[in-house]
Amino acid sequence: MSQDALVVFTPSGRRGRFPLGTPVLQAARALGVDIDSVCGGRGLCGRCQVVVAEGDFPKHGVHSCQEHLSEHSETEHAWEKENGSLKSGRRLSCSTQVLGDVVIDVPPESQVHRQIVRKRAEVLDLELDPIVRLHYVEVQEPDLHFPASDLRRLKDALDFDWRLTGLEADIRVIQELQGALRRGEWKVTVAVYDNARIVAVWPGFQEKVYGMAVDVGSTTIAAHLCDLQTGKVVASAGRMNPQIRFGEDLMSRVSYVMMNPGGDTEMTAVVREALNELTLDLAEEAGVGVTEIVEAVFVANPIMHHLLFGINPVELGGAPFALATDEPVAGLWATEIDLRIHPNARIYALPCIAGHVGADTAGVILSETPYYNEEVTLLVDVGTNAEIVLGNRLRLLAASSPTGPAFEGAQISCGQRAAPGAIERVRIDPKTLEPRFKVIGCELWSDEPGFAEETASTGITGICGSGIIEVIAEMYLSGVINQDGLINGSLEQSSPRIQANGRTFAYTLVSAGDRILQITQNDVRAIQLAKAALYAGVRLLMDKLGVDRVDRIGLAGAFGSHIDVTYAMILGLIPDCPLERVGSIGNAAGTGARIALLSRSRRAEIEDAVRKVEKIETAVEPSFQQYFVDAMAIPHKHDPFPNLRETVTLPEPVISEDSGARTRGRRMRSAR
């Protein structure tokens, strides 16, 4: 009778013959089967769980059953009882020996390179491959006869157990190593960065390490804490960016530095302090120690990026808008940006793309991976500027368009940030011109019973970005404004909502007691300028790419989440595209940071993609100006919305007296 047994692993299909008594984990390793383990087969980590497939497998010539494996070991009983985490029918491959032919299934959660399937369907799956990994080792004790240093014996153990060769060690690891080895009685867990450097050491068995993915926005800083072993988000937190006190928007912060030497240092200090507070929030929520956080990955726009890393952002405030660096910031110690996580934790920031197109846009690209597809994807991230990415697997273009902050509610007479009390949805009756609306924090429309009571606490304080888009579009649809955006003053007679406002007119959206919220001619103009800038940028990139349509549109960020796409199309913010192919992509920048945190290969992928992105500077493109002027009208001539017309009945535009020949000419051309 044979002293060997055939072992087949699924799903890999790898197979081999092994002497009876061989541990399953050892067989798996010999065959290069992907089974996770932190403790190196010592029954400490419980990661190497497998399942025996019972039955006959003619393809493999195997009859497989539980009896072809050794009895449950004490370690396994302990795991079943005490940890409760060895599921029924599962075995720990490190303490189970092969006694006959078997088919062993490695479930996804036991694979090192397991797939993470995220809940949000539009986001791609991810192969977990963090750059920092834990390795448990038992280190030889020092011996007078073999005077090797603590570090050398540690490295020998890592080489022997984990085939990690040529590792280097951070000085702080060397400083802590003696104590860790002796406290852990020569058993330690190390964190290894990029299979190259030992960056942390803990006495005994350390089960978990964590990483942070952070999106440093000019208004808010949002962070996720992820378990690097599972890829799961264990905590999420956000804070206001305290730099706001130096200037509401990006340009005012750059101005602050120009006017106040040393202002960059101040702003660097406050954002780093906010990051530390955010880190404490995350650690507390997840119940982990800050020193268990071994990496932090950042996305940010160029000015936030430069301030975070202590680089003066003034060059980004004026032409030629030269970045200090367009490379990823990689391998920096957390201490170098004063971040109080593990002192040797590494910092990674996705690369900035150009002076106005930051690491946040790189995050959007990484999250959406337009470079994988044939279809032409348009990605838009609207903030103070609109970052625009267009392309497919052959070419990818990026630009920033100077929309200004109107889409965020700034520069609008009654505009405000999205916050409770802000109007976010608007409908205008085309006959009576009476509005109804919804405010953030209340589910009811303003004409529904109970609205007044429910909004009593917050009041109706202003209008946010999505509300502005809707009110302007509804004003157009109801004939309050014409294609040129001019408020039709002749309606003053028929509706109390239209009122003179100096030499122009305004539309009154809310008039309740002292509180009057009006949409003025200037407000309409501000939105026209913003949307023309956005559209012109998109149009320019389409020209550069040589396409006259896009296959898919993704709208990133808070603006993208709240906006009603139909209205965006009515106003002509974005080019024509089937409605079902247009959608919010959420905080894609932050998602990109998380992907980079969890996957070394995806990090390399985005670095490569960013190098290849063609950077377009709208300011030096003559056609941009023309597109901009042309796109002021609603809807603009380049985009007759053929498919939109099927869903919304557009009223015949009212042509005012003063719109003149230019408007008529445009209509003639768009009639082609």
Residues that bind a copy of itself (CB under 8 A): 142-145, 147-152, 169, 171, 174-175, 177-179, 309-312, 315, 319-327, 329, 332, 336, 352, 354-355, 615, 617, 619-620
Q: Would you say 150 or 470 has its CB closer to a copy of itself?
A: 150
CB of 251 to a copy of itself, least distance (A): 17
CB of 315 to a copy of itself, least distance (A): 5
Contact 408, 558 (CB under 8 A): no
Q: Would you say 315 or 543 has its CB closer to a copy of itself?
A: 315
Helix/strand/coil for 2: coil
Q: Would you say 118 or 152 has its CB closer to a copy of itself?
A: 152
Q: Would you say 332 or 648 has its CB closer to a copy of itself?
A: 332
CB of 588 to a copy of itself, least distance (A): 22
CB of 326 to a copy of itself, least distance (A): 4
CB of 357 to a copy of itself, least distance (A): 9
CA triple 651-652-654, angle to 5 deg: 115
CB of 545 to a copy of itself, least distance (A): 18
Q: Would you say 161 or 170 has its CB closer to a copy of itself?
A: 170
CB of 131 to a copy of itself, least distance (A): 16
What is the rounded CA–CA span in Å between residue 46 and residue 82?
Answer: 12
What is the rounded CA–CA span in Å between residue 323 and residue 316?
Answer: 7
CB of 320 to a copy of itself, least distance (A): 4
What is the rounded CA–CA span in Å between residue 135 and residue 144?
Answer: 27
Contact 354, 397 (CB under 8 A): no
Contact 49, 107 (CB under 8 A): yes
CB of 141 to a copy of itself, least distance (A): 8
Closest CA to 629 of 592, 666, 593: 666
Task: Tell me how far apart the terminal alpha carbons of the chain are, to the nearest angstrom.
Answer: 86
Closest CA to 656 of 482, 473, 525: 482
Beta strands in 244-349 (DSSP E): 293-300, 329-333, 346-349
Q: Would you say 74 or 141 has its CB closer to a copy of itself?
A: 141
Long-range contacts of 409-413 (CB under 8 A, 24+ apart): 409/462, 409/463, 409/464, 409/465, 409/468, 410/248, 410/249, 411/526, 412/463, 412/468, 412/523, 412/526, 412/527, 413/518, 413/519, 413/520, 413/522, 413/523
Q: Would you say 353 or 380 has its CB closer to a copy of itself?
A: 353
CB of 150 to a copy of itself, least distance (A): 5
Q: Is the dihedral of CA 300, 302, 305, 307 positive or negative?
A: negative
Q: Would you say 320 or 449 has its CB closer to a copy of itself?
A: 320
The number of CA neighbours under 13 Å toward the Cβ of 251 is: 11
Q: Would you say 391 or 590 has its CB closer to a copy of itself?
A: 391
Q: Would you say 239 or 615 has its CB closer to a copy of itself?
A: 615
Q: Is the dihedral of CA 103, 107, 110, 113 positive or negative?
A: positive
Contact 56, 135 (CB under 8 A): no
CB of 301 to a copy of itself, least distance (A): 15
H or E element that contains 530: helix 521-545
Contact 546, 395 (CB under 8 A): no
CB of 162 to a copy of itself, least distance (A): 19
DSSP assigned state of 335: G
What is the rounded CA–CA span in Å between residue 222 and residue 239?
Answer: 7
For 525-560, give one letter per residue: b (16+ CB within 10 A) or e: bbbbbbbbbbbbbbbbbbbbbebeebebbbbbbbbb
Q: Would you say 395 or 615 has its CB closer to a copy of itself?
A: 615
Amino acid at 165: T
Q: Would you say 99 or 332 has its CB closer to a copy of itself?
A: 332
